[in-house]
Amino acid sequence: MSSGPSANNSTVLEETTAQPLDATRHGAATREIEEFLRSRIVGQSAAVDAVLEIYQIFLVGLSAPDRPVGNLLFLGPTGSGKTYVIEVLAEALFGNPHAFIKVDCAEFQEHHEIAKLIGSPPGYIGHMHTQPILTQEALTRWHTEKLKLTLLLFDEVEKASESLWQLMLGILDKASLTLGDNTHVDLSQCIIFMTSNVGAPEMSRLAEGGLGFALQAPIEDANLDEKIARTATEAARRKFSPEFMNRLDKVVVFNTLRPDQLEHILELELEKVQRRIAGAVGQNHFTFRCTPGIKQWLLREGTDPKYGARHLKRVIEKNIVYGLANLVATGQVKGGDCVSIGIRADGGLTFAKIAATAREESAAA
């Protein structure tokens, strides 16, 4: 029997009536989250893309059954923003950057410490007294009527003990966990994040800018990010077992942050402080501005070749926030005031109240 002509006709018909579709487009709900993530996460678009892809699949109900919604491994040097991405996602989804469960794998290096996660079995010391971290109640704590999703982070996964690895392999594969008291926990509504800095020294050598940050002029190499990604992934494959790597939906390598990106991060952090002041104090709050000099100083003090931008928030808190609070405590700053923060040649910080007219001129400029 010849099927040639009729099959060809049907193909022609399909092609002429088919409407082209764009499988990369996101729905409205995902676009809203995307906008939030991209406005707050600097220089890590691969991480944002990976998170959005998984979230979109979850929203339309196409996540694989009996598996977590997604298993993501974040690789990159300390201070490159791995945990921060999860905090921003938690804020975008639940309005709270702390709305996720964090398991610090370094705390579970001994076999018996696993009881902190799943509770002690009956008959063991601590049974009934050890409240497990990974209970069904804990997983559903941040669920809302509209969004039944949990973000679960295994931080510094390379430090996990053998027992924790076994437990994690079960979670990543079957989305299930049995607690010490034999209760079953369902993790099929979870996005599992794992962070690790394996391969960080090799990545750093490639970037030649120190660990995590290109403090010196970045190398002129269009393929640098690609090379770094390959190096990190290879290091992960050497460190982690194939069983683990095969269970991952995506491995994301965090980029080395460039000086302009660090400046952008600083601006975001300062905006956050301003929002905090407005949120804490209410309508009659005061505002502050930082001179270019103090911004450079904050970048120098807050970014570190070893720990990346990890200390930036701390430096802002200790120098800007505490300083402003002391001005309020001594009645030097009141609601409606605008404070300019600068730096003297000797490195001391200066705080000055800007008069209304100067403020208008400065805003207009």
Partner 1 sequence: MKTILVVDDNEMLCCLACDILRTEGYRAVPATNAAEALRAFEEEEFDLLVTAFQMPGMSGLELARAVRNRSPRFPVIVMTGFEPVECEHVTLWLPKQYLFPNLLEKIRYCLAGAEQESEKTLG
Footprint of partner 1 (CB under 8 A): 276-277, 279-282, 284-286, 317-318, 321-326, 328-331, 334-335
Q: How far is the CB of 323 from partner 1 (least distance, A)?
A: 8
Nearer to partner 1, 40 or 247 (CB): 40
Q: Which helix (H) or strand (E) holds 178?
A: strand 176-178
Q: Up-side HSE of residue 330: CA atoms within 13 Å toward CB?
A: 6
Q: Least distance in Å: CB of 283 to partner 1? A: 11
CA–CA separation, 175 and 61 (whole Å): 16
Helical segments of 18-125, H only = 28-40, 45-59, 82-94, 115-118
Beta carbon of residue 326, minimum distance to partner 1 (angstroms, whole number) = 5
* Phi and psi, residue 2, nearest 5°: -95, 125
Residue closer to partner 1, measured from CB, 4 or 282 = 282
Q: Which residues contact 54 (CB under 8 A, 6 or more apart)?
A: 69, 70, 72, 191, 249, 250
Host H or E run for residue 224: helix 224-239
Tokens of 352: 């000055």
Q: Which CB atom, from 286 or from 297, has the smaller least distance to partner 1?
A: 286
**DSSP letter at 213?**
B
According to DSSP, the residues that pair with 191 across neighbouring strands are: 70, 151
CB of 22 to partner 1, least distance (A): 43
Alpha-carbon gap, residue 175 to 66, rounded angstroms: 6
- Which is closer to partner 1, CB of 112 or CB of 318? 318
| Smaller CB separation from partner 1, 178 or 326 | 326
User: In the complex with partner 1, which residue's Cβ is closer, 13 or 325?
Assistant: 325
CB 27 within 8 A of CB 60: yes
Residue whose CB is less far from partner 1, 152 or 324: 324
Other Cβ atoms less than 10 A from the Cβ of 26: the count is 15
Beta bridge partners of 151: 191
Provide, rounded to whole angstroms, the least separation between the CB of residue 34 and partner 1. Answer: 28
Q: How far is the CB of 300 from partner 1 (least distance, A)?
A: 20
Structure tokens at 73: 């491994």
Is the backbone of residue 355 left (phi > 0), alpha (psi -120 to 50) or beta?
beta
At residue 337's C-alpha, the angle toward residues 336 and 343, to 5°, is: 150
Nearer to partner 1, 242 or 331 (CB): 331
Both tokens assigned to 359: 């403020």
Task: Output the smallest distance, CB 317 to partner 1, in A.
Answer: 7
Instruction: Provide the minimum distance between the beta carbon of 321 and partner 1 in the complex, in angstroms, as a whole number.
Output: 6
Nearer to partner 1, 277 or 354 (CB): 277
Shortest Cβ 320–partner 1 spacing (Å): 11
Pick from 321, 284, 316, 286: which is nearest to 303 by CA?
Answer: 316
Bridge partners, 195 (sequence order) = 74
